[in-house]
Structure 1
Amino acid sequence: MSHTFYQNNPELREYFENLPIDVKNRILESGVEISTLGELMQVAEHILNTKG
């Protein structure tokens, strides 16, 4: 997924844009396919909880 995907998806845009930059980068670099706000929230929480 690219940053453009999140920018063009009104359901995901606001949440994605408010994430810390390192979390956004890890999501983008992971290549994980996210299609719902719930999925995005789960992935972001996982990253936030595993940051060391």
Structure 2
Amino acid sequence: MPHPASSATMSAKPDMAGIEKFSKSKVKKIATQEKNLLPSKETMEKEKQAREG
């Protein structure tokens, strides 16, 4: 059975030692590539017409 004081301490104050030592210079810069997974309005209209016709 865990000690109640130790679990309360851990949830109340997380260990910030690693965050304080973190260096932004070690992070790689990458180009963000956005993906548009939705079809265009024109594509949707063409498909709708194809189904109806």
TM class by smaller structure: under 0.3
Q: Give TM-score scaled by structure 1 length.
A: 0.27
Larger radius of gyration: 2
Higher share of residues assigned helix: 1
Q: Which of 1 and 2 has higher RCO (CA within 8 Å, sep 6+)?
A: 1
